Structure 1
């Protein structure tokens, strides 16, 4: 049967088509505008969290490793072109381009940001490229100590909304064809869900990320609804990662939270693990003889080598305490051979330190000496702090004993010692010198100490976690 198209139906269909075009055009403008504003708002929240972590790393003691770590992590965010931290005098403390660290940012963007008491969004062009610069003040207590900047291009915003634009174009074309070939009832039926989607888009623009549209249709409107739901789910995930990043520094802990293995509730649980403590010998004397900038550079080079050695064998750096390192093996990802991994990491730390010292001597600098101690036992791992500020860390006698043992290196002329539990777990893999039961400061009972000499012959170091066979 041939379809007859009367002029009234055609006119009504064309009128409905124009109406749909107007609605979709308005919805598209709102969607793109709200999407851009949502991305800018998200980056604004990230800059505030970035500023908060920078303030904690600047005061009461400057923690350059945390500053640089947080800055480089920002570069991993989609669309971010640069991130930097400025001191109050606009001196660059940290930058995703290491060559710019130490310089002065005299740009108008930096000047306006340093004068603004709140987070600030600025647009500027550089070499023909349009940028958004989002800044936030850094406070240490009630004192402003600097400003953080995050920059991304307008093109990256447009790229993120590219899929939404395609969906809208498909919707427009399909709606016109259906209106011309169909009837007013079909046109009215197609228009029915659009206000719901537009309202949901407005809710997302207001910051409500619990919105979800449930359309069972399998046409372009249904596809647009699915794309909208995916976009909202992506925003929720990014918001969760942003809030998590402000609480957790370890990648393993962040991953554990995202997959539900780590809880955000205050408290902890008793777990067996191996604690590694290391410390630079006579660092106070060394830092007094060097300019602050040289001390920062030296610490950065040292921490880079040590952290790589620890991470290569499944360890997690829990925190930096001045020039000291507290690392954990067997947590948050449990490995039965955590004691062996800890000793292997310590030996690699010594090897890397030897290479670093060789470079320092060639530069005419004094080599670094460190002390390392490892103890295996049970410690409490979990969320320590308050509802406002939480640190996922380890505490307990096992941690305290490892710290006391590390200090004992000075008394016995050693640089790598372990407790008896570590010795019993790893004696088949390493050579040890039995130092005996020795008094340790802060302990009423003597501690049996062993010095690690190296790997046993024909016993290669254990493979790193994640390699073949594990």
Structure 2
């Protein structure tokens, strides 16, 4: 949502007062001077010169500096056209204040030389004093304005970020230089003025000048330190809070860039980092929809360790397929078929996961699950048989999809050694299981057609279960891919553990 005209006017008015507030600081320093010296007759002349240049002329300059920003806020120009002006706003504002303050301070300090009848209590300043004041005060006014406008810029950037979604992308400031200038102006400048006065005056004049220096320094440093600390620490505080949120798992964080220096650039890179983390999390969540979360975790863990080599482990493999699926697909509309298939797979997945198995791959209307690899599963052979029995019970008692399709499933289970590892090329990898145990489970699922059974298990699975299930030996059969016939067993899903 764009800013309203009232909000834009308030933003501009706020900036103008910030940029011209140095005029009131100049008057305050003049009040300190006349209060201590009693030179009240010159107050109006000093105040008038300060107000005319630091308030009046500076106000007109500040309006022109803000004009491109106003056009952006009004939607008249794109953000890219005002980025440079935005990031340089503190420096430009302070530069003009510095130039104007040189004229003001030179005029105010030199009046005792060319207007002798002004009722001054103190004699005209020395050349060294005059030069020092003409350097120190403009530098102080420059620094004050820079940090005051920098503080304003932080609020303006937050507003632009919240309303327009734009962040600073240009950085011309220097955080170390800001710190250096702040320290010099706050500490060195007042001391330099006092040192010059110590060598320029003595007696009562020295006492009065040092008193003026101290009082002015206390006022100026107090006000400046407030804005300097806000300008330097506020962006760091915003970034620190954002980091805390991200550390707590909140990847929706995006923070405004509120400074034009290295901290602002760091904030921008922080946003880029969070965007990258958010994209990776989105990819991982999407990945998890297609691959079992335990498989995904194994792949990520292995890649994080730099591992791609295979490993051999003992596991139980379960294959399941829908009986007469091709015939069923012929009379169902595509959306009905997909709806029924998804409903069926959800029903099959639940027992597998409940008994500690992991789904490795969906193969058309079937799936391939493993027990004990990559997720450890105690008594994995018995767990796989329990899962097979529960699948048959769950599938047999219901229909699937909006069309209410009845489905029957065949299951093959085999136990033995498997090879697990990342298989693929380039950036496309998949964690899979290989070996005779996997092939045998797939063949057992197919052999259910020949024996009119629902669950077939290998002799190794039967032996590993150590009883507890209604196994029925079916003799030895030749299995494609194996050199020797193997003993197979059927399982009655209505009998035994579940």
TM-score, scaled to structure 2 = 0.49
Confirm or deny: 8 A CA contact 2:336 2:403 kept in the other structure.
no
For residues 294 and 220 of structure 2, the distance between their equivalents in structure 1, rounded to whole angstroms, comes to: 57
Structure with greater proportional strand content:
1
- Please name the residue that 1:308 is paired with: 350
- Please name the residue that 2:153 is paired with: 23
For residues 452 and 283 of structure 1, the distance between their equivalents in structure 2, rounded to whole angstroms, comes to: 22
Confirm or deny: 8 A CA contact 2:414 2:458 kept in the other structure.
yes
CA displacement at 1:296 relative to structure 2? 2.0
Question: 1:140-188 deviations in whole A, cap 9, x for unaligned?
Answer: xxxxxxxxxxxxxxxxxxxxxxxxxxxxxxxxxxxxxxx9982535644
For residues 305 and 296 of structure 1, the distance between their equivalents in structure 2, rounded to whole angstroms, comes to: 14
1:333 aligned onto 2:390: no
For residues 320 and 18 of structure 1, the distance between their equivalents in structure 2, rounded to whole angstroms, comes to: 63
Residues paired across the two proteins, number: 293
Identify if the C-alpha distance between structure 1 residues 441 and 34 changes in structure 2 by more than 3 Å, giving closer, same or farther. Answer: farther
For residues 362 and 412 of structure 2, the distance between their equivalents in structure 1, rounded to whole angstroms, comes to: 15
| Secondary structure, counterpart of 2:375 in structure 1 | coil
Identify if the C-alpha distance between structure 1 residues 256 and 403 changes in structure 2 by more than 3 Å, giving closer, same or farther. Answer: closer
Identify if the C-alpha distance between structure 1 residues 336 and 225 changes in structure 2 by more than 3 Å, giving closer, same or farther. Answer: farther
For residues 353 and 362 of structure 2, the distance between their equivalents in structure 1, rounded to whole angstroms, comes to: 15
Structure with greater proportional helix content:
2
Identify if the C-alpha distance between structure 1 residues 262 and 421 changes in structure 2 by more than 3 Å, giving closer, same or farther. Answer: farther
My pick for the range that moved more, 261-270 or 421-430, is 261-270
Match of 1:399 among 429, 438, 441: 438
1:408 aligned onto 2:450: no
CA displacement at 1:402 relative to structure 2? 0.8
Match of 2:282 among 221, 226, 242: 242
For residues 304 and 36 of structure 1, the distance between their equivalents in structure 2, rounded to whole angstroms, comes to: 44
For residues 448 and 471 of structure 2, the distance between their equivalents in structure 1, rounded to whole angstroms, comes to: 15
Identify if the C-alpha distance between structure 1 residues 288 and 336 changes in structure 2 by more than 3 Å, giving closer, same or farther. Answer: same
Segments of structure 2 that go 5 or more residues without pairing to the other structure are 1-24, 30-136, 168-218, 241-250, 252-262
Match of 2:425 among 386, 395, 399: 386
Match of 1:184 among 224, 229, 246: 224
For residues 271 and 35 of structure 1, the distance between their equivalents in structure 2, rounded to whole angstroms, comes to: 53
Match of 2:409 among 370, 373, 383: 370
Confirm or deny: 8 A CA contact 1:278 1:373 kept in the other structure.
yes
Confirm or deny: 8 A CA contact 1:266 1:383 kept in the other structure.
yes
TM-score, scaled to structure 1 = 0.52
1:356 aligned onto 2:398: yes
Confirm or deny: 8 A CA contact 2:302 2:308 kept in the other structure.
no
For residues 33 and 268 of structure 1, the distance between their equivalents in structure 2, rounded to whole angstroms, comes to: 53
- Please name the residue that 1:294 is paired with: 336
For residues 349 and 335 of structure 2, the distance between their equivalents in structure 1, rounded to whole angstroms, comes to: 21
Segments of structure 1 that go 5 or more residues without pairing to the other structure are 38-178, 201-208, 210-222, 462-470
CA displacement at 1:193 relative to structure 2? 6.4
| Secondary structure, counterpart of 1:356 in structure 2 | coil
Identify if the C-alpha distance between structure 1 residues 226 and 12 changes in structure 2 by more than 3 Å, giving closer, same or farther. Answer: closer
| Secondary structure, counterpart of 2:491 in structure 1 | strand
My pick for the range that moved more, 343-352 or 258-267, is 258-267
Alignment of 1:73-88 (within 5 A): none
- Please name the residue that 2:316 is paired with: 274
- Please name the residue that 1:430 is paired with: 469
Identify if the C-alpha distance between structure 1 residues 19 and 191 changes in structure 2 by more than 3 Å, giving closer, same or farther. Answer: same
Confirm or deny: 8 A CA contact 1:16 1:187 kept in the other structure.
no
Confirm or deny: 8 A CA contact 1:197 1:225 kept in the other structure.
no
Identify if the C-alpha distance between structure 1 residues 381 and 420 changes in structure 2 by more than 3 Å, giving closer, same or farther. Answer: same
CA displacement at 1:326 relative to structure 2? 0.8
- Please name the residue that 1:321 is paired with: 363
CA displacement at 1:265 relative to structure 2? 5.1
Identify if the C-alpha distance between structure 1 residues 420 and 33 changes in structure 2 by more than 3 Å, giving closer, same or farther. Answer: farther
Question: 1:15-57 deviations in whole A, cap 9, x for unaligned?
Answer: 46631333213442565589789xxxxxxxxxxxxxxxxxxxx
Confirm or deny: 8 A CA contact 1:310 1:316 kept in the other structure.
yes
RMSD of aligned Cα (Å): 4.5
Runs of 4+ in 1 over 6 A off after TM superposition: 9-14, 33-37, 193-200, 223-233, 259-262
Confirm or deny: 8 A CA contact 1:13 1:187 kept in the other structure.
no
For residues 440 and 271 of structure 1, the distance between their equivalents in structure 2, rounded to whole angstroms, comes to: 23
For residues 240 and 390 of structure 1, the distance between their equivalents in structure 2, rounded to whole angstroms, comes to: 16
CA displacement at 1:239 relative to structure 2? 3.1
1:254 aligned onto 2:293: no
1:452 aligned onto 2:494: no
- Please name the residue that 1:84 is paired with: none
Confirm or deny: 8 A CA contact 1:373 1:406 kept in the other structure.
yes
CA displacement at 1:332 relative to structure 2? 2.1
